[in-house]
Structure 1
Amino acid sequence: MNIKDLYYFQRLISTQSYTQTAADFHVSQPTISQAIKRLERHFQTTLFFRQAKTKALVLTPSGQQLLLAANDIIANWQHVNESIGHLRQHTLRLGIEPSVSERYLPALTKPIVEKDLLSSIHTVEMGANQLVKQVLNGQLDIAVSCNLDQTLDERLAVTPLRPFTFKILCSPDHELTKLDHPTFKDALQHPFVILNATYLSKLVFHQLAEQLSIEPQVMFESDNGTLINGLVRENLALGFISDIGAEPEKGLVEIPITDVQAPSVHINMIRRAHQFPIGLFKDVMDIVEETFKDDSI
């Protein structure tokens, strides 16, 4: 069986037209017809039939199964071509989430430079959801990302690097500090300034508020940790921070969250499950894992 036959089959079902499919691939219409016949001979079944009234191509159960498989095979084949192309060029695309890069990028970069790999690694910074999408569609080879554990796709190979927790950040003059055991419920009576949707912390913040059935007062969202620290320092709002980002300013008070169940969250290294860690790929994976084993960071 020729993989190109799967391409023809996939496009034919999409276009519903032999003529259009042939034009899309710059081949003759009989080429498409012969490809479908080869597939049907191989599987010894009928893949679709043409509806009498609408002339639409209607998949049989066998055709539906083959289309699902063809989508995966074609996607994986494209990823394999891209991966081998990068191996030939000795390049790798690494994605990293902003909150992770703030703290860990210098430590990651040092061994990369020492091993003379800097020119071979193209690093981009983006939010967790976008990182996962780009790894799945082959635009990134490896990503270091903060993720809710239950949201990760089964098509990914995931290496947990470290868990992390969230805390409330406030000015020492804030009335929350006057309570003996301040809670997240107490904090939600006051306005917050939080990181925006680029960061996982926004999702976690709203999940925790939902547990208490309280609509939070979000005064401001930002991707700038320094700005958040400034607003908290001036006692204009509370902050919601994790223990992986840049260190908060000295003098600000961190309050642990103990009255609600935080979701399980980790910094993970993620890649496509079928991607084999060899050569440069394995070198970078080893560097990432070693970096996060260093508890002194």
Structure 2
Amino acid sequence: MNIKDLYYFQRLISTQSYTQTAADFHVSQPTIFQAIKRLERHFQTTLFFRQAKTKALVLTPSGQQLLLAANDIIANWQHVNESIGHLRQHTLRLGIEPAISEHYLPTLTKPIVEKDLLNSVHTVEMGANQLVKQVLGGQLDLAISGNLDQTLDERLAVTPLRPFHFKILASPHHKLAQMDNPTFEDALQSPFVILNATYLNKLVFHQLAEQLSIEPQVMFESDSSSLISGLVREDLALGFVSDVGQPADADLIEIPITDVQVPSVHINLIRRAHQFPIGLFKDVMDIVETTFKNDDATNQKENN
């Protein structure tokens, strides 16, 4: 048995046609027939049968199991080919969430330049959900992404870099800023401006509101932290922000969230579980982990 047999089997079940499958792979129909026979001999079982009325190919339980395995094997094989190709070319594709990029990319770039890796690391920005999809799909090798801890796919290897901390942003003139120990429930009596669905902030914000069974008033959604700060500064709304990508603003009041259970959210370094960190891959992972560790140490020193 070889991996081509799995490709033929997968396509045959998809097309339901020996003729179409042979044409797709530019081989003869007997080649497809023989591949199926090899698989059945190897596993000593029948993989499918042809339904009499519709002529459809119907998988047996063994065929269903093999198709599931074939899908994983073929996907992993394609990823391995891509990964080895990048190793040969000494290139790596790194995805990063925009809010994280704004805060960390300058610091990350310095050691990349110092190690003469700038031409080898190709960086792209996109939202957290898209980053996960592209790592799983093999379009990205590594990603730095904010994720709800319970939503990460088991096919990913995940290195937590630092937690998110969420807070309410208010103008000093807002009634919430005048209250003693204001709660998130108090805050929901006012309109909010929040980051849009590209960011996890929106998902977390609505989860917190659901805990209180309150429908929040969202005045505006944006992909700009600066715009949110501007609207809050004008006392038009409250902001819901994290400590990632949101620069400190001395003109605004930061109010902690204490009366609801904030979900666990981390900035993570993610890769496919079967992708081994060697060579350039390991060099970039080390740079990312060291950058976040140093930043965390600096923040703790400043806070003390």
TM range (shorter): over 0.9
Aligned-partner Cα distance in 2 for 1:236–1:246 = 18
Question: Which residue is equivalent to 2:209?
Answer: 209
What CA distance in whole angstroms lies between the structure 2 residues aligned with 1:130 and 1:123? Answer: 14
Q: After the TM superposition, which parts of structure 1 deviate over 4 Å for at least 4 consecutive aligned residues?
A: none
- SS for the counterpart of 1:239 is strand
* Equivalent residues in 2 for 1:17-166, closer than 5 Å: 17-166=17-166
Tell me the equivalent position of 1:223: 223
* Counterpart for residue 198 of structure 2: 198
Letter in 1 for 2:85: G
Q: How far apart are residue 181 of structure 1 and its match?
A: 1.0
Identity %: 86
Give the superposition deviation at 1:249: 2.2
Is it true that 1:245 corresponds to 2:256 in the alignment? no
Superposed CA offset, 1:181-202 (max 9, x none)? 1000000000000001111101
For structure 1, the residue ranges without an aligned partner over 5 or more in a row are none
Alignment partners' CA distance in 1, 2:14 and 2:121: 37
Secondary structure of 1:284's counterpart equals helix
Once the 2 structures are TM-superposed, how far is the Cα of residue 164 of structure 1 from its aligned partner? 1.6
What code does the residue aligned with 1:2 have?
N
Three-state SS of the structure 2 residue aligned to 1:189 is: coil
Residue 11 of structure 1 is matched in structure 2 by: 11
- Aligned pairs, how many? 297
Where does residue 292 of structure 1 map in the other structure? 292
Preserved contact between residue 136 and residue 155 of structure 1 (Cα < 8 Å): yes
Letter matched to residue 253 of structure 2: V
Structure 1: distance between partners of 2:242 and 2:270: 20
Report if aligned partners of 1:166, 1:240 keep a CA contact under 8 Å in 2. Answer: yes
Specify every segment of 5 or more residues in structure 2 that has no aligned partner in the other structure, as ranges: 300-304
Q: Aligned to 1:118, what secondary structure does the other structure show?
A: coil
Distance between the aligned counterparts of 1:287 and 1:73, measured in 2? 31
Counterpart amino acid of 1:274? H
SS of residue matched to 1:269:
strand
Using the size of structure 2 for normalisation, the TM-score is 0.97
Are the equivalent residues in 2 in contact too, given 1:93–1:140 (CA < 8 A)?
A: yes
1:176 matches 2:176: yes
Partners of 2:121 and 2:250 in 1: how far apart? 35
